[in-house]
Amino acid sequence: MSFYNIYHKYKNCSFEELPNQELTKLLSLEAEKSLEAMAQKAKTLTLQNFGKTISLYTPLYLSNYCENECLYCGFNANNKIPRRKLKIDELKKEAKFIAKTGLQHILILTGESKKLSPLSYIKESVKILNKLFSSISIEIYPLSQTEYKELIAAGVDGLTIYQEVYSQSEYKKLHPAGPKQDYQFRLDAPERAARAGIRTINIGSLLGLAPWRKEAFFMLKHAEYLQNKYPEIEMSISLPRLRPQFNNFQTPYEVSDKNIVQIITAARIFMPRLGITLSTRENSQLRNNLIKLGITKMSAGSTTAVGGHTLEKTYIKNSLQFEISDKRDVSQIKIMLLKEGYQPVLKDWVGALQNE
């Protein structure tokens, strides 16, 4: 049994044909009329379960080599952008820059090329980062259970992996070449990591690639499936919306701010303890407004280029994965949170390997 069995059961249903459960009701068009009441309920549940705290993290791009041709991404293997992998001394410099901001949680990313950013390189990088950060998550190509175990042993405690789009037919069209074409290997990656003993898992659907109600349904059913089967895992979702990038890919299915509000409030009511991450893909005003509805984690001081804080500006400008919208640095985000009455959390976990 894997989540694929659940997906398979409902894959050919329209949203209206999905089982008439709490989740489908919350995500329905009809529920838009009760959005205000849903928002109030989500606000209360968030306060009860998380208090007024927001964890902060930042991405650190190790490499932008990629073997895939995802139509919506600036790192698409066909794009003629400068490609690079951080050398160890460059990584140390970038990591020190981030550590100076006070952040202790970091998300390391690569494009998906196992050949050019092999596991050995990621392990070596994690060992360096362990000295500066208390929590290290990865957003890299999907791995086997044994490989996840190796990274956990090296000091990784969190996994972020987006299915991108749950609709298997859309997935096929959007991923025309490369190892990422294997839909099920990606779908089952979080479960392999859970079996390997990872502490946190963050999944997501890239909003805009397919009709959002059904995508949100599958994402939340996936989160529920993982949480029920692996209750020890700290489970969370992300709500990335498509952003402009190198290929000028046009969003096929628009997702409005109001739709985002509905997904967040539905998620909070459906799974009150679920972590909800909001990245700098969204603008500062929207991010400020969404905090109260159920967000538990935000990125700050982000860049989507390899070595985006410390490498040459001319290189960085031409090699972004996508454009970020909220460009505030860590101290500005902290000030905003304090002003709103929230406590910014820079550290809520200490990896056993830190400072070894």
Task: Choose which of 94, 112, 191, 326 interacts with ligand SF4 (CB under 6 A).
Answer: 112
H or E stretch at 151? helix 145-154
| Closer Cβ to ligand SF4, 218 or 322, answer by number | 322
Residue 299 found at the interface with ligand SF4 (CB under 6 A)? no
Please state the closest distance from residue 68 (CB atom) to ligand SF4, in A: 4
Q: Which stretch binds ligand SF4 (CB under 6 A): 72-80, 222-230, 310-318, 347-355?
A: 72-80
Closest separation in Å from C-beta 2 to ligand SF4:
21
**Token pair in block for residue 153:** 């042993």
**Pick 162 or 349: Cβ nearer ligand SF4:** 162
Alpha-carbon gap, residue 299 to 108, rounded angstroms: 13
Burial class (CB in 10 A: 0-12, 13-18, 19+), 163: buried
Contacts (Cβ under 8 Å, ≥6 apart) of 102: 330, 346
Nearer to ligand SF4, 109 or 311 (CB): 109
Among 23, 27, 60, 73, binds ligand SF4 (CB under 6 A): 73
Shortest distance in whole angstroms from residue 111 CB to ligand SF4: 4
DSSP 8-state assignment for residue 202 = E
Q: Is 113 helix (H, G, I), strand (E, B) or coil?
A: coil
Q: Least distance in Å: CB of 8 to ligand SF4?
A: 24
Q: Which is nearer to ligand SF4, 157 or 164 (CB)?
A: 164
The answer to the question of residue 66 lying near ligand SF4 (CB under 6 A) is yes
CA 269 from centre of chain: 20
Nearer to ligand SF4, 277 or 296 (CB): 277
Q: How many helices (H) and strands (E) does the chain have?
A: 14, 9
| Tokens at 76, concatenated | 């698409």
User: From the list 18, 38, 70, 337, which residue makes contact with ligand SF4 (rule: CB under 6 A)?
Assistant: 70
With respect to ligand SF4, which residue has the nearer C-beta, 242 or 255? 242
Tell me the pairing of strands 158-164 and 297-299: unpaired
Choice between 28 and 68, CB closer to ligand SF4: 68
Among 24, 46, 58, 68, binds ligand SF4 (CB under 6 A): 68
- Write down the least CB distance from residue 332 to ligand SF4, Å: 28
Distance of alpha carbon 330 from alpha carbon 245, whole angstroms: 24
Residue 76 touches ligand SF4, criterion: CB under 6 A: yes
# of chain residues touching ligand SF4 (CB under 6 A): 9
Tokens of 139: 């957003």
**What DSSP string describes 255-321?**
--HHHHHHHHHHHHHH-TT-EEEE-TTS-HHHHHHHHHHH--EEE-S---STTTTTS-HHHHHT--S
Tokens of residue 157, six digits: 């405690």
Q: How far apart are alpha carbons 204 and 218 in whole angstroms?
A: 10
Among 75, 133, 218, 342, binds ligand SF4 (CB under 6 A): 75
* Residue 180 found at the interface with ligand SF4 (CB under 6 A): yes
Least distance to ligand SF4, CB of residue 12, Å: 26
Interface with ligand SF4, residue 269, by CB under 6 A: no
What is the smallest separation between the CB atom of 9 and ligand SF4, expressed in angstroms? 27
Question: 149 in helix, strand or coil?
Answer: helix
Among 38, 91, 111, 324, binds ligand SF4 (CB under 6 A): 111
Looking at the Cβ atoms of 105 and 180, the one nearer to ligand SF4 is 180
Least Å distance, CB 90 to ligand SF4, is: 19
92 in Cβ contact with 128 (< 8 Å): yes
Q: Are 297 and 55 in contact (CB under 8 A)?
A: yes
Q: How many residues does the chain have?
A: 356
Give the binding site for ligand SF4 (CB under 6 A): 66, 68, 70, 73, 75-76, 111-112, 180
